[in-house]
Amino acid sequence: MAEAHDATEDAPVAGPRFYIGVALFAISLIGPLVAIPLMGILGLSAGTIASSSAGILVGAEVLLVAAAAIMGKSGYTYIKSKIFGTLKRYGPPREVGPTRYRIGLVLFVLPLILGFVSPYAKGLIPYFEGNELWFALGGDLILLIGLFVLGGAFWDKLRALFVHGARAVFPEPSS
């Protein structure tokens, strides 16, 4: 009996089409990351940056589709599996212990509380006046770190908030 073969396991034939597709794929990912900040450094007006950024992002999507078409399904699947396989190693673990979970909850909830309270208590938070952007960026970073500390199972809990038929399942208390 023949085994089922996954297209992500084998590298496609490395010909010119594959390399052109990889180049377009790289440009579609790296191009906006370089071009958009460069426009800000060059001192272009906000309107020019906004409209150019939109065009660059649309162009990146078109390049991504073109890369997939040029590489073919096997080439695109191979590249995608390599990239996401590498990123998966650095992702959050599926289950975490109770101490890590509590720390993650604090890191997750603290920025939410700060974001809710800060408009009403500006004078009570030291150095907040004039540094609102830095507090917001710091809070966002702490919230993202909290999500990774909480682990993969917490992502499923968050997702369940947006699924109508999802039900909470509580573990049985251990004796």
Q: Give residue 85's identity as a one-letter amino acid code.
A: G
Summarised one tens digit per residue, pLDDT across range 90-128 is 666 778 889 999 999 999 999 999 888 888 888 888 888
Where do the structural domains in the chain lie, given as residue ranges?
A: 16-89, 98-160
Distance CA(154)–CA(92), nearest Å, equals 10
The pLDDT > 70 percentage for the chain reads 90
Model confidence pTM above 0.85: no
- Residue with the bigger pLDDT between 1 and 47: it is 47
For residue 65, pLDDT beyond 90: no
